């Protein structure tokens, strides 16, 4: 924790204010503020100040695949992207399906000290989809796990999903579902099902494989009185079901990735495995539906699904390459360029989708709150006028499966602050 004075920042893109952080907590917000001797100062004239971003969906690979990412390198990438908290998915090796495994991830995150790393617990043992993992023990552990997911695999068995929802209801937990019916889109499915998948000869992934699971889980959430979260919704059909569920009063939330807000299936025509992701990139009409749903609040949050891979896992024929792409460092730029510059969102609503809503869903009370006295000093300064061209070689991640390489965006993270301490300063803040 540190003492810090930020001067002249535009809070949520609005009025310019000074913000004084003492001992890791916001002490005062106003004009002409003074700081104690020794406090760090940042002149934020012209910059926007937002609550630090929270990522509901990050793959940090440790333990087991430290050749692709470690918690330390993933945390560095997250801080560079403006994040002050990330939720680390459970599909590690060994799987995060015990209290001990969750606590190990928590401790490694604390050692890195750049963002709060909150473990996500597996729903089922070994992600096998058969027997529930130690849900209550993980929640009662030092890691205080509240979000559970077999991400990468769908909890396909309705009985298992129902039991998981009943179990987490007791302590206010949430199940985050990878909505992919394996009977409609098997493990080899890697291209949106349609004319393009047929022309390219790639196994198809139809929209109904997503929407049918969302519909089932919505009904199970209503039946159990529990909470379900839809990971990386990617289709207009999926959006329709999410909208219907919310209209019914079902306790369901949803996220969308930056890549599904911008990239389309047309990029697969060159068989470049950088663009192989699960769920796959979709047609432009789905992209438009996702943008509209994020704008109107049907989709609650942006989540990166940051999925680093070593070169030897991506450098294969398209059908054999690993699923996933990087996303932590570029998330703000992509969302700002796509949604704010187009007028679909203002900066305050971007903060709601990237900070406040994901923090609420995950139960992270120290993140995503209002910028006011008494709140934790977890903040991000952004430069909405800055232009940047993505260079994959400059990434803090160990991996280079970066779909944004060579693309230019307007909007950049300037400085990331965790409890008053600068964890990333991309523009030389002093």
Give catalytic residue positions. 305
Give me Rg for the CA atoms of the chain: 21
d(CA 383, CA 388): 11
**106 to 94, 177, 398, 419: CA distances (angstroms):** 15, 22, 20, 17
Instruction: Look at residues 327, 339, 306, 304 and name the one whose alpha carbon lies nearest to residue 410.
Output: 339
Phi, psi angles (nearest 5°) of residue 156: -80, -35
Cα dihedral angle (73, 76, 80, 83), rounded to 10 degrees?
110
Residues 6+ apart with CB under 8 A from 351: 12, 50, 51
d(CA 78, CA 262): 20
Kindly tell me the burial class for residue 95, based on how many C-beta atoms sit within 10 Å of its own C-beta (0-12, 13-18, 19 or more): buried
- The answer to whether residues 132 and 100 touch, using CB atoms and an 8 Å cutoff, is no
For 54, other C-beta atoms within 10 Å of its C-beta total 30
- The answer to whether residues 347 and 291 touch, using CB atoms and an 8 Å cutoff, is no
């Amino acid at each position: 924790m540190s003492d810090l004075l930020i001067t002249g920042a535009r809070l949520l893109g609005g009025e310019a204010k000074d913000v004084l952080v003492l001992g890791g907590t916001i002490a005062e917000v106003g004009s002409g503020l003074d700081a104690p001797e020794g406090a760090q100062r940042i002149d934020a004239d012209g910059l926007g100040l937002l609550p630090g971003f929270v990522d509901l969906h990050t793959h940090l690979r440790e333990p087991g695949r430290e050749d692709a990412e470690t918690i330390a390198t993933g945390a560095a990438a997250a801080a560079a992207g403006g994040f002050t908290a990330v939720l680390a998915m459970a599909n590690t090796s060994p799987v995060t399906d015990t209290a001990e495994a969750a606590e190990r991830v928590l401790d490694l995150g604390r050692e890195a000290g750049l963002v709060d790393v909150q473990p996500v617990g597996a729903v089922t043992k070994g992600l096998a989809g058969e027997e529930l993992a130690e849900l209550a023990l993980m929640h009662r552990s030092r890691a205080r796990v509240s979000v559970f997911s077999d991400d990468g695999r769908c909890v396909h068995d309705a009985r298992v999903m129902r039991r998981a929802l009943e179990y987490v209801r007791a302590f206010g937990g949430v199940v985050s579902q990878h909505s992919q019916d394996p009977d409609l889109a098997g493990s080899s499915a890697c291209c949106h099902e349609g004319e393009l998948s047929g022309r390219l000869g790639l196994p198809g992934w139809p929209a109904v494989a997503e929407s049918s699971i969302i519909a089932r889980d919505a009904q199970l959430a209503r039946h159990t009185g529990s909470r379900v979260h839809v990971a990386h919704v990617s289709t207009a059909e999926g959006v329709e079901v999410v909208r219907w569920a919310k209209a019914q009063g079902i306790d369901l939330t949803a996220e969308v990735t930056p890549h599904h807000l911008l990239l389309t299936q047309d990029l697969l025509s060159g068989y470049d495995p950088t663009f192989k992701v699960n769920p796959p990139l979709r047609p432009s009409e789905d992209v438009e539906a996702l943008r509209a749903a994020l704008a109107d609040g049907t989709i609650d949050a942006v989540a990166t699904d940051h999925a680093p891979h070593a070169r030897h896992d991506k450098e294969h024929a398209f059908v054999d390459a690993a699923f996933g792409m990087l996303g932590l460092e570029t998330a703000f730029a992509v969302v700002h360029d796509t949604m704010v510059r187009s007028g679909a969102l203002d900066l305050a609503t971007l903060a709601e989708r990237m900070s406040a809503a994901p923090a609420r869903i995950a139960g992270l009370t120290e993140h995503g709150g209002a910028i006011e006295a008494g709140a934790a000093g977890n903040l991000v300064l952004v430069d909405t006028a800055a232009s940047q061209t993505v260079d994959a070689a400059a990434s803090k991640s160990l991996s280079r499966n970066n779909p944004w390489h060579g693309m230019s965006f307007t909007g950049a993270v300037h400085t990331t602050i965790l409890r008053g301490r600068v964890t990333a300063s991309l523009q030389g803040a002093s």
